[in-house]
Structure 1
Amino acid sequence: MHPFRRRIQVRLAIVGCGFVADYYMTTLVNHPELRVVGIHDRDDARGKAFGVFHGLRLYPSLDALLADPEVEMVLNLTNPSSHYAVSRAVLEAGKHVWSEKPLALDLEEARDLVALAQAKGLAIACAPATMLGEAATAMRKAIGAGRIGRVRLAYAEMEDSMVFREDYRKWRSRSGAPWPAEDEFATGCTLEHAGYYLTWLCAFFGPVAEMTAFAARLFDDKGTGQPPETIANDFSVACLRFRSGVVARLTCGLAAPVDRSLHIVGDEGILSISDGWNTRSPVFLRDRYGRATSRLPKLGKLLAVAERRLPFRQWSGRRLPLEGGEVVTPPYASRIDFARGPAALASAIRAGRAPAIDAAFSLHVTELSLVAQHAERHAMPYRPISSFEPAPVG
């Protein structure tokens, strides 16, 4: 019998105690079935600070962590350049992996991780897990129930404004970790952010058959002193054609004002949310013209007139109910239940069923993100080599 099926709690270890690790610790309270038994960071001072703050055991090395039979799953929260090496070591040690995005910075390395996990009968999956949240679930159910008819188009935005002009050197996590500016700008906003909506779109509409992407570096200087050639593209737009026939456009950038909206356009209506970084962002149903569907018909017309005259867009309409209640999330920017991903993966393994976010799904999203981030490296249109078996919509 698999060890997950014998215990109520799943025992985790965290590798990488930087900025995002505090987001996971903040949201673990939502998932008492998970228990962190220890941590490790290659920066000993950072590991000690994190361990003291959260009252956690600090392993002296990655090897010591991996040798501990108490550890069943590892959360790989290292910087992206370390994802491949750390995840591979974890799999070789016979433990399951939940990785921060992306699986790896190279597609072949990501494929190697998936193949190794499959060969060893282990699970590996990759953040983000916002597609498991209440807003995404409400959207998916509305699509499956035919609330907007046949879906034709999706517009997804992940614009984060000029964060490099903010005072980011003062940003600290709960335990005092600095925001990793150099890593963020070297990795690129598309690899950091595209997955938040690619996971939703793939969950809704299945694998991508073809994509055309464009990317550019608009700002050479991010205030970090990094040479321009080491800074990744800070803008991308990708047009995706799903095997199901749906077409989507996704933009990611560090120039335009903050916009994390998603609009799903069907023959009979439109579904919209304003913030993909909010687990419980309100979901609105509008008519096929984008007008509010209300018991007060004149209200929709008034809002449409106002939208034409004022510099804002309204996405209000009939608000769809969200399941469940409030959950604990970080207080600012990312109102996301970060621990929901590893909790869902652990639950699926314990139950002997396929997880909603599995290795194949994570690999596909990683491939799409890599191509969008580095569009200049690929001939367009690009046809992904990865795929996954889509779950039924509804």
Structure 2
Amino acid sequence: MPGLKNTSGHEIDLPGAKVGEVCVRFAPEPSGYLHIGHAKAALLNQYFADRYKGRLLVRFDDTNPSKESSEFVENVLKDIETLGVKYDAVTYTSDYFPKLMEMAECLIKQGKAYVDDTPKDKMNTERRDGVESKCRNSTVEENLLLWSEMVNGTKRGTQCCVRGKLDMQDPNKSLRDPVYYRCNPDPHHRVGSKYKVYPTYDFACPFVDALQGVTHALRSSEYHDRNAQYYRILQDMGLRRVEPYEFSRLNMVYTVLSKRTLRWFVQNKKVEDWTDARFPTIQGVLRRGLKVEALIQFILEQGASKNLNLMEWDKLWTINKKIIDPACGRHTAVLKDKSVPLTLTNGPANLARVC
């Protein structure tokens, strides 16, 4: 891949990166097909892995069984192959479920996490206002008892969640006792109904990053305010530091890139499926006639800048036109019943008569 430039024209570096020691990961949730925004994340991860002669892991963050399926896993891998992304291994957060549960219990025993049965709406209000939960100072024994109820999926357990005991007065609301674990009775696409509790993204991501040897976690700039949370959770877990690196999210004018919204269109039969040519999914835009080379070039031109830009589709299709023009024939046709005689004087001698 060509070098990525910043707004000053200089090649972009990963902080503290050393050649041969970098490990990055592309970590999609298997809750839909990849769209062009995901393509940017995948290609940036490959670029940095190649540049530093490091490793690239594809890790499915499959922590929400209600939204995920094997169909999405298969099509994500298909899209990655279409983009030409070369990776070293495919892994799953679900591979680490036993260790994640052990870590959650360990934090409870250390007083760094607690079990809370506060209703969701009230919990959100308390977090917004910086009000401590009534469960925040429960004893370790009380917390472990409720944790056991959660693990077993009892009626009492399903009313609870595990929260990290961070700082309810911090101006950064991501540090106000985030949720680590929730109950979910739905079967998981890989492990079935073995588990009744599942980690949140905020809890699982730093843990698995550290265990897998990831050195730099590339994340879109929407996660900026959660970097402090990421560091704090790693610290409480006693794990090594992983360096988040931000890049701007790819936004297109008049385009929905929310998987939740795209899923609504599919589930409500507003479109045929995730490959509909009107969708911004990779399979959708390719079905519309976009060449993979054009998509890759378009994304690499955006680089790893942190500046937020709203991109026009015209630019992408202009790149596509330049790629297909040399291979496309040009033909002109006239409807026979609409044709009229034309007399050309002093024309080429070999001009043929067309009826």
Q: When the two structures are superposed, what TM-score results if normalisation uses the length of structure 2?
A: 0.25
**TM-score scaled to structure 1, two decimals?**
0.23
Larger Rg: 2
- The structure whose residues are more often strand, as a share, is 1
